[in-house]
Structure 1
Amino acid sequence: MVAVSSAGQVSERDAPFQLRGNSFTMMVLKVLDPASANFFPALAGKVRQAPNFFRHAPIVLDFDELPDAVAFDVAAFVGRVREQYLLPIGFHGGPAAVQEQSLACGLVPMPTGRAAKLELARPVDSSGQPVAPPPEPVFRPALVVTEPVRSGTQLYAQGTDLIVTASVSHGAEVLADGNIHVYGALRGRALAGISGDSGARIFCQSLEAEVVSIAGLYRVSEDLDPSLLKKAVQIRLDDGFLHIALL
């Protein structure tokens, strides 16, 4: 028998589910010219560079820079994207007709910038007035990890920097809203500034990464300069491009 509170609600302990907010890292496919004959050959080539990274990856289709007069079959477009083993789950922006077609395809409209927080209940005081939420802390200590980050592990430093004093293995993923420091070999995936901080940087003692990314701009291992491999480097954004330099 399920326990029921005095208000007739199922108790949290006995409820068959939990509803809570969360955040996930997703790639954004910025669509500039969906009618281009080179669009899908170029996309297929990019996927082939890192198939394990892209395969079944959820993505958001960004239509924000499409002109109002553009006309194309969104459903067919989404189908061709899925043929590359990418999984479109949402969209952002675009002309009204494109947005209507996207909704009809089952895509979810996504907000810009930082993900919206799901607020299920807001506390009130004795007079029934909403209580202001506590201010965000001005300083949040960096997340420090002293053990090697094994394959299949994902670490996320929310609202702060991530410092790994060991190595990051192939198949592991480290993410941070701020900077990422790896005082060992970086062999997995490193994504810094994932909430949009273009000033974030990645520092590592040995660059052997599968993917590096800052504020959504990424580079896969096949695109890395061979002269920088297994060297101590810093990675940053410079005029909208990912720049990798020796330390």
Structure 2
Amino acid sequence: MTKQAELKGSSYTLSALHLSNEDIQQATDYLKEKVNQAPNFFAAAPIVIDVSNAGTNIDFKELKNGVTEAGMIPVGVSGCKNALMQQQARDAGFALMNAAKQAQAAKPVVEPTRIIDTPVRSGQQIYAKNCDLVVMSNVSPGAEIIADGCIHVFGALRGRAIAGANGQQQARIFCHNLQPELVSIDGKFWLSDKIPDKHWGKGAVISLAENNLNIEPLAL
């Protein structure tokens, strides 16, 4: 007998756009800028829009069209203040979403450090689950390296580096030549334009302090 489709609960990590006002064009222009800066990361990516700080006169149809025009996929809205806003969001084709309270996760099993001896090419993605990741060579533009722990790159980092992917705020990114498209720790990220000039192309350590990314020179 052929197995039928099953409906199961799953959790996914989505980017969220937090609106601070009702200016949809401003939000659209902001998203376009981010997509242009890192198309491999943001283009056609699903996104949730948080309207909790944006007032009550939001044109949800214009909002959905603006996000789509920017090159991303609007999947839901959170933070609607009343039933009228909720209905307007539904009518525009949005799902209504609530930010889940983060439950205390079970302590993951720590695996041995994953070591990559070869260059990480454009289009490649490497994920070190429950461990640190060491790349002995370069990470090309368009490549993505992910680790639940820390990331060490002994060559040039020109792609995307995502550490602390499972919520480990103590994770760090160590790099001998920092030229990334994106760096992220525990979901907090910087695109290349946020990297201070004094650290560009040099050795650096990126960490998370008080919920903000921090960068320091790499001491050898």
| Range 143-152 or range 24-33, more displaced | 24-33
Q: 1:108 to 1:167 in 2, by over 3 A?
A: farther
SS at match of 1:197: coil
Amino acid at match of 2:69: E
Q: How does 1:135-214 map to 2 (within 5 A)?
A: 137-214=108-185
Q: How does 1:69-88 map to 2 (within 5 A)?
A: 70-88=56-74
For residue 36 of structure 1, report the CA deviation from its aligned partner. 6.8
Aligned residues: 215
Show structure 1 runs of 5+ residues with no match: 5-9, 116-134
| Range 44-53 or range 149-158, more displaced | 44-53
For residue 171 of structure 1, report the CA deviation from its aligned partner. 0.6
What residue number does 1:131 align with? none
For residue 47 of structure 1, report the CA deviation from its aligned partner. 3.5
For residue 113 of structure 1, report the CA deviation from its aligned partner. 6.3
What residue number does 2:53 align with? 66
Q: Root-mean-square deviation (CA), in Å?
A: 3.2
Q: How does 1:1-247 map to 2 (within 5 A)?
A: 4=1, 10=2, 26-35=14-23, 38-63=26-51, 65-66=52-53, 70-97=56-83, 98-104=85-91, 105-107=93-95, 109=97, 111-112=99-100, 137-247=108-218
Is the CA contact 2:25–2:66 (under 8 Å) kept in the aligned structure 1?
no
Task: Give the TM-score taking structure 2 as reference length.
Answer: 0.78
For residue 246 of structure 1, report the CA deviation from its aligned partner. 0.7
Amino acid at match of 1:168: V
Amino acid at match of 1:34: E
Q: 1:151 to 1:49 in 2, by over 3 A?
A: closer
Amino acid at match of 1:35: D
Query: Partners in 2 of 1:141 and 1:239 — Cα distance?
Result: 29
Q: Deviation string for 1:202-222 (max 9, x for gaps)?
A: 111111111112222222223
Q: 1:31 to 1:158 in 2, by over 3 A?
A: farther
Is the CA contact 1:25–1:194 (under 8 Å) kept in the aligned structure 2?
no
Q: 1:72 to 1:22 in 2, by over 3 A?
A: closer
State the identity as a percent.
38
Amino acid at match of 2:157: L
SS at match of 2:73: strand
Is the CA contact 2:156–2:176 (under 8 Å) kept in the aligned structure 1?
yes
| Range 186-195 or range 153-162, more displaced | 153-162
Q: Deviation string for 1:65-122 (max 9, x for gaps)?
A: 437x62312222111111111112234444244444444414363653669xxxxxxx
Query: Partners in 2 of 1:146 and 1:164 — Cα distance?
Result: 6
Amino acid at match of 2:133: L
Name the one with the larger helix percent: 2
Q: Who wins on radius of gyration, i.e. which is larger?
A: 1
Query: Partners in 2 of 1:89 and 1:27 — Cα distance?
Result: 10
Task: Give the TM-score taking structure 1 as reference length.
Answer: 0.71
SS at match of 2:100: coil
SS at match of 2:63: helix
For residue 187 of structure 1, report the CA deviation from its aligned partner. 0.9
Q: 1:225 to 1:77 in 2, by over 3 A?
A: same
| Range 81-90 or range 42-51, more displaced | 42-51
Is the CA contact 1:114–1:195 (under 8 Å) kept in the aligned structure 2?
no
For residue 24 of structure 1, report the CA deviation from its aligned partner. 5.7
